[in-house]
Structure 1
Amino acid sequence: MTDADANVTRPQGPAGDPVCWLDRVCDACGAFVEGVDATPCWNCGAVADSGR
């Protein structure tokens, strides 16, 4: 660790977005689907399995 590292202020509290967004990736085409289960993919129209 350098002196510059010791002066870094890191945010406290909850982190941002979840680390893994894999459950929102369309299995059929790989597009990112911004919806809940059973939302059709905007790119190909496939519907994700609800058992994710």
Structure 2
Amino acid sequence: MTTHRDDAGPLTGPDDDLGGDPVCWLDRVCPDCGSFLTDRTAGTCPRCGAARDR
């Protein structure tokens, strides 16, 4: 049986904490491969070798 969109309940309530990472960490994520970059002084991503924006 298929549930129609109008029959489905809300995914989250108003008090649910969705969590997630803070936006301020976006400069630590490689835009090419999505790896989290821990070395802020590195000029390239250690995973894929893409140049970092500083």
Bin of the TM-score, shorter chain as denominator length: 0.3 to 0.5
TM-score (norm 2): 0.46
TM-score (norm 1): 0.47
